[in-house]
Structure 1
Amino acid sequence: MTAVARAGELLREVPGVRAVAEYRRQWLVKDVVAGVVLTTLLVPQGMAYAELAKLPPITGLYTTILCLLGYAVCGPSRILVLGPDSSLGPMIAASIVPLAASGGDSKRAVALASTLAIMVAAIMILASVARLGFIADLISKPTMIGYLNGLALTIIIGQLPKLFGFKVDADGLLAEAREFAKGLANGKAVGAAAAVGIAGIVLVLVLQRWLPKVPAVLVMVVLAIGASVAFDLKAHGVSTVGELPEGFPPLTIPDIKMGDLGLLFAGALGIAVVSLADTISTSTAFAARTGQEVEGNKEMFGIGAANLAAGLFQGFPVSTSGSRTAVAERSGSRSQLTGVVGAVLIILMLVLVPGLFRDLPQPALAAVVITAALSLADVPGAIRLWRQRRTEFLLSIAAFLGVALLGVLPGIAIAIGLSILNVFRRAWWPYETELGRVPGLEGYHSIRSYPDAERRPGLVIYRFDAPLFFANAKNFREEVERFARADPPPVWIVIAAEPVTDVDTTASDELEDLDEWLNARGIRLIFAEMKDPVREKIERYGLTRTIDPRSFYPTVESAVAAYDALPATTEAETEAEAETDHPSSR
């Protein structure tokens, strides 16, 4: 195959090129209409989320344009819409504000945010090449619920001063809440600003609840601009967005200090995990409706390309938006052409009518952010956890407090850490039980669920629902020894090993010592239903030197049948027989 042919084959593998080749003419009108409708949401949200990230509103529009184009070329989903996101705004601010705070230089803040987007892109693309799509599973649903609830509260408290027309100099949820309360008490609130902001929130929530097909954010923004012009709100102390820079953003390589990279990289890692988890969950939900399959590694590459495009044109990190994707779907979107249409319309707006939003009141943007934050919160989900499983509710609360009290970046680290610890806890202290025969039911069942289950004298059937590894091997051994110390002691202890999916070398040593300890007491250790890969590991470890190969049975029933077939013996005879069968124990 020639180099040209290979290049052509690789080019056809690019999702955007393949989408063009497979595009159907009957989709065109629907995609264009959906793109027009989507733009009415992209513009106000883009500006609002930029300010949430402590950046100029125009950067939100630059980001929206480039990420839509980048994902259209490299993203695998036909319908997913990427852009500035309310869940990432506080994380971006937490990463750049400590570095850009001195002097309040907006150009430096933009450069830091663009670098952050490029770093997120690098993480995503490298992780995609390494096929690390499973990273999206690092945050469990309970910890994500807690994280998002904490994030929603943090966003709302942070936007309240802007909603009421004044500023506070504070950092952190508690400090911002305290300064906001002081500002209200000292009469800093601007009545006109509060009226616009609160009315905006109520209007958006009412329209979303009762008229979901109406573009609530657009209606609110248009009415707010109309009110600003009609009542000259500037004269009443209400801040407005002002004139946006004209034209398309130039290609810009961010100029930052090497010393800034450490904090930015920590923020980029957290943003990458949250963005991927959000994208995978959203794409899975919408793919199920369109018949597509979700591939985490390809989604990572698409997100990486979108962030790279945004970062090179004065943008900031992006993620998937469930609300914008839903709008596109309801409007009839069939392909990524919807996003391309949205990007083109925003470019035309910046080139032809950059002053379109100059009279938009800042409290209206705060209303956009607050209503988005309310959609992040999942209080019913937390209540459900309380009712269904208290341990997972506590994990959710811990993640919530991590975000609320320690900040957004520590909060996401706590959420990931708690998710991983929860997995480890379940493997460390798994469900374990003795089994017995229940009249009228096939097989053997937990005596915890069936306290009256029948147990044979001299026989213990024990199930341990986890792989055996260094952290839980001692717990396993202690439980088996507890059975062995019963009065009278058992003759056989049968391990129902079907849930034991692995045995590591530490657990192997514990099993060897345990078997010798039991042999010395005339008790045989039996394994039933052990998986072949686990049995092969046990043989490779050399455990069959002490554990008799005849001690492995295909089912619990066959092990019990073998026990029932044993001749009646005295305790001394049983011990002598065990020592004969296991000479290594002497």
Structure 2
Amino acid sequence: MARPALFLRGLQGWSGRDLSGDLFAGLTLAAIAIPEQMATARLGDFSPEVGFFAFIAAVFAFAVFGASRHLSVGADSTITPILAGGLALIATSGSPHYVAMAALLALMVGAIVLAGGLLRLGWIADLLSVPVMAGFLAGIAIHILVSQLPELLGLPSGSGNVFQRLAAVRADLGQVNFWSLALGVGVFAIVTGCERISPRIPGALIALAVATLAVTALGLTGRGVAVLGNLPAGLPGLGLPQVTFDDMRTLVPLALLVAIIVMVQTAATTRSFAGESGTPPDVNRDFVGVGAASLLSGLAGAFPVNSSPPRTAIVSETGGRSQLTCLFAAAIVLLLVLFGKSLLASVPQAALAGILFFVAMRILRWQTFFGTLRQAPLEFALIMITAIAIVALPIEVGVAIGIGLSLLHGLWGMTQAAAIEFEKVPGTSIWWPPSGDPRGERVPGVLVVAFQAPLSFVNAAGFGQEFRAMIDASTGTLKHVVFEASSVIDIDFTAAQALRGVIEHCRNAGISFRIARLETVRAQKALERFGIVEMLGPNAIFRSVDNAITAIATSETTRRDPMPPASTSKG
């Protein structure tokens, strides 16, 4: 079997017949990415062209080091409010120090994500449950809406937390510029309408062009409508930001949080679109690609980048066959940076706010909200708590709380597992939890117990207590215990001690103990490592409950009918 290529895996299998599809998809992607990257840069208090630099660097780095053929990487509205909120606490927004710290953050995030890929840490992407992720996105959406409200209304840009920004808007309501409001609402309406007709329509670019023409034709700059103005010409040089070791130490918590969000979103996007290319997903290799993308973005003086599910969907839906699609889009953006910046001078800031309003509404997971509320009210509470934490607290603290809640919820589910007695399904060799219809069968003197969760330190104490209580409840008639261990994936030190305690409890009561269906190699090795195999003996572990019951019956028969001693004869 041929080994996968080390570089440019997103171009593997490409042929000339794929060129037309990649070109068309690249044009569509560029039309969507240009306004989106500008708006996302503004969301982070960066100059719009910095979003272009981030996109160009990210696309090139991922195409070289990543694996997915469709994944689109660049400035992303999910992580930008997080990094902007964190950076605003340590540097003045828009200052040279702020820009340098953003570039340093990109380098740190890139290094963490790249290391995660090299160390094959794709499992980290499962740290956030679906409800917590929905709450996280809801909180981010509120941050986007509140941060862009002044731009939409033509008011001075605010600062501070969500409540301070809202208070500032309320205080300035008498100064609303209705031309700006009309432009922003119009852009939002056009983008929303185009999205409903077909996601392939570059609604954001169309809306931005219409708004820019309106500003020029109606002379709206003279009516107080703020525009981008002249943007710096040329490309930035590559280099390390001018920062100190203390700056790096200060950014460590923020870099870890942003890196986790990047890995979660990258893994979800990679898995969602892997089937489109006919190749299995390689989450770890895509971590390497996205990590390299952030590294190059940082060297270009930009900020951390992320994979984008909507843009990746566009690449897939418009017929993109490889990373050449993204490279074409990046080339178009590069041409705009080099020769077309004058076209952007009259773009109204309210139009970018309208685009970001659309982005904020799109990332809200309405189906998850309603489905969770109806089917799992407790998990709906996780959505609300996470969203409120991200809105009410410093955004990086809110994200940390969301991750903590997700982990605690998973651990809580494991602690609620209970030991349960299994019954034999009539007419079969299957042992199953009691279902009532038909009524299961039991073997006299034998207790078959299963634990309905992986066994570890978080539930070992409850496991031991419940198991011993079930044994004590049958004292007098119970002779044999079979532990059905199919749910036991691994056994840590604490769980091993709990299991040894149950075995000792059985021995003290004169009851034999057997283990059945311990299927994973890790758990089998753990039994040997903690001395449980030696404690039980190799003949006490079985591949099925039925095998264990058969062995018990054989031992009972042997005990009742021992073989007579061999006769001797005298010669």
Q: Does 1:112 align with 2:112?
A: no
Give the drift of 1:202.
1.6
1:412 positional shift: 2.5
Decide which of 283, 306, 321 is 2:293's aligned counterpart: 306
Whole-angstrom distance in 1 between the partners of 2:456 and 2:199:
52
Q: Take 1:451 and 1:480, find their aligned partners in 2: how far apart are those partners?
A: 26
- Where structure 2 has 5 or more consecutive residues not aligned to the other structure, the ranges are 561-571
Q: 2:496 aligns with which of 508, 520, 534?
A: 508
What is the Cα-based RMSD across aligned positions, in Å? Answer: 3.0
Question: Is the counterpart of residue 486 in structure 1 residue 473 in structure 2?
Answer: yes
Cα offset, 1:246, TM superposition = 1.4
SS in 1 for 2:172: helix
1:106-136 CA-to-partner distances (Å, cap 9, x unmatched) read: 3222221111111122212223332323322
Q: Which residue of 1 aligns with 2:505?
A: 517
TM-score (norm 1): 0.86
How far 1:13 sits from its partner (Å)? 4.2
Aligned to 1:352: 339
Residues 106-145 of structure 1: pairs in structure 2 closer than 5 A: 106-145=95-134
With over 3 angstroms needed to count, the CA separation of the structure-2 counterparts of 1:375 and 1:449, relative to structure 1, is farther
**Counterpart in the other structure of 2:7:** 15
Deviations 1:300-338 (CA, angstroms, capped at 9, x unpaired): 221122112211122111111222223333333222222
SS of residue in 1 equivalent to 2:473:
coil
CA distance in 1, matches of 2:276, 2:546: 45
Q: Is residue 58 from structure 1 mapped to residue 34 from structure 2 by the alignment?
A: no
- Larger mean Cα displacement after TM superposition, 221-230 or 341-350: 341-350
CA shift in 2, pair 1:494/1:79, >3 Å: closer
User: Residue 6 of structure 1 aligns with which residue?
Assistant: none
1:404 to 1:512, Cα distance in 2 relative to 1, 3 A? same
Q: Give aligned pairs, total.
A: 556
Distance between the aligned counterparts of 1:348 and 1:71, measured in 2? 20
Alignment of 1:179-218 (within 5 A): 179-184=168-173, 187-218=174-205
2:233 to 230, 246, 262: 246
Question: Residues 536-551 of structure 1: matches in 2 within 5 Å?
Answer: 537-543=526-532, 547=536, 551=540
CA contact (8 A) 2:22 2:319 kept: yes
Once the two structures are superposed, residues 329-370 of structure 1 have per-residue CA deviations (whole angstroms, 9 ceiling, x without a partner) of 333322222222222222322332321011111111011111
C-alpha separation in 2, matches of 1:449 and 1:557: 21
Matches within 5 A, 1:395-434: 395-434=382-421
Other-structure match for 1:389: 376
Give the residue type in structure 2 aligned to 1:486.
A
Deviations 1:393-413 (A, max 9, x none): 333333223222223322322
Match of 1:123, as an amino acid?
I
- Which of 145, 162, 169 is the equivalent residue of 1:173? 162
Equivalent in the alignment of 1:149: 138
Summarize the Cα distance change of 1:75–1:507 in structure 2 as closer, same or farther, 3 Å threshold.
Answer: closer
Give, in whole Å, the separation in 2 of the partners of 1:512 and 1:14.
48
1:268 matched to which residue of 2?
255
In structure 2, the partner of 1:89 is 80
Closer/same/farther in 2, CA of residues 449 and 178 from structure 1, 3 Å limit? farther
SS in 2 for 1:15: coil
Which one-letter code corresponds to 2:146 in the other structure?
Answer: I
1:245, distance to aligned residue in structure 2 (A):
1.2
SS in 1 for 2:237: coil
C-alpha spacing 1:546/1:298, structure 2 compared with 1 (3 Å): closer
Pairing 1:331–2:318 present: yes
Q: Distance in 2 between matches of 1:559 and 1:515?
A: 16
Are residues 423 and 218 of structure 1, via their aligned partners in 2, closer, same or farther at CA, if it must alter by over 3 Å? same
Aligned to 2:567: none
Counterpart amino acid of 1:51? R
What is the SS of the residue equivalent to 2:233?
A: coil
Paired letter, 2:500: E
Separation in 2, partners of 1:50, 1:177: 21
Asked if the contact 1:54–1:97 (Cα under 8 Å) also holds between the matched residues in 2, the reply is no
Letter paired with 1:113: A
1:483 and 1:489 in contact (8 A); partners too: no
Q: SS of the counterpart of 2:399?
A: helix
* Structure 1 residues 379 and 182: alpha-carbon distance in aligned structure 2, compared to 1, 3 A threshold: farther
Pairwise CA distance, 1:438: 4.5
Deviation of 1:442 after TM superposition, in Å, equals 5.6
Change in CA separation of 1:160 and 1:481 when aligned onto 2, cut-off 3 Å: same
Matched, 1:498 2:486: yes
Contact 1:55–1:106 (CA under 8 A) maintained in structure 2:
no
Spell out, residue by residue over 1:448-476, the C-alpha distance to the aligned partner (whole angstroms, 9 max, x if none): 66695444554332111334333322211
Instruction: Note the alpha carbon deviations across 1:460-502, whole angstroms, 9 max, x for none.
Output: 3211133433332221121122123326644133322222233
8 Å CA contact 1:434, 1:460 repeated in 2: yes
Match of 1:4 in 2: none
TM-score by length of 2: 0.88
- Kindly state the Cα deviation for residue 225 of structure 1 after the two structures are TM-superposed: 0.5
Q: Secondary structure at the match of 2:191?
A: helix
**Compared with structure 1, are the counterparts of its residues 448 and 245 closer, same or farther at alpha carbon in structure 2 (3 Å cutoff)?**
same
Residue aligned with 2:216, SS: helix
- Distance of 1:116 and 1:93 partners within structure 2: 11
